[in-house]
Amino acid sequence: MKQEINPKDTNRAMAFELWMNSPMPMVTLTKTFDATRLYKVSRRRGLKFNMLLCWCIGKVASRIEEFYMLPQNGKLYKYDRLAINVIVNNCNGGINSCDVSYCDDLEKFSRDYTALTQSASSSCQNAFIDDAMVIGTSAMMATELDSIVNQYTDQFCNPMVMWGRYRKKWLKVTLPISFQFHHVQMDGGHAAHFLEELQKGINNI
């Protein structure tokens, strides 16, 4: 469910006053992750690496209050659930977008992820969820990337997690991840906490 809330009734009141009308309110942090555990689980269980990472992102975000609020069109909204947006290469050589509802059950999330991404790829149709706070993701597996900075636009204020191809060296797998967020939604400290918790989530999957 999505509902408008008064910023003054939240811990984002000052941020709303400072950044809601900023022409460039987005902030990007980049961190190199140890993705060894994620890689091993992916191989051992036959699960997609990117799906596992999306689930970890949802699991960590679902425990952070700020992820349930989002500024849009000069207002602040609160949601009661999260979804993960995935960009899919379609059969016509283009891309489509699909939202996957987050749930704690990894097997269910995996089934939903697979069904929705395959459908988007074959039908060339987007699948959006309107009543969930959507965390965007973008995986550019064609190359290794050190950092990604997305477009800054008031048309899309959702947080975005982006990465390229993972890097294997001896017994370790690393992956630089960029996290972009709207400053009204959270501060740098919240974002840094999310990245730290994401590393823990990856380690413990």
Q: pLDDT per residue over 120-151, tens digit each?
A: 999 999 999 999 999 999 999 899 999 988 87
Q: Express each pLDDT in 58-91 by its tens digit.
A: 999 999 999 999 999 899 999 999 999 999 999 9
Residues of the domain holding 106: 28-65+79-148+158-203
Number of domains in the chain: 1
Specify if 7 maps to a domain: no
Give the model's pLDDT for residue 95: 95
Specify if 22 maps to a domain: no
Identify the residue with better confidence: 151 or 114.
114
Nearest to 41 by CA among 128, 107, 94, 86: 107
**Mean pLDDT in residue range 188-199:** 98
Specify if 4 maps to a domain: no
CATH number at residue 56: 3.30.559.10
Specify if 102 maps to a domain: yes
Q: Express each pLDDT in 23-48 by its tens digit.
A: 889 999 999 999 999 999 999 999 99
Specify if 12 maps to a domain: no
Give the model's pLDDT for residue 154: 66
Q: Are 99 and 68 in contact (CB under 8 A)?
A: no
Specify if 165 maps to a domain: yes
Task: Supply the mean pLDDT for the chain.
Answer: 95
Give the model's pLDDT for residue 170: 87
Q: Are 18 and 164 in contact (CB under 8 A)?
A: no
Specify if 112 maps to a domain: yes
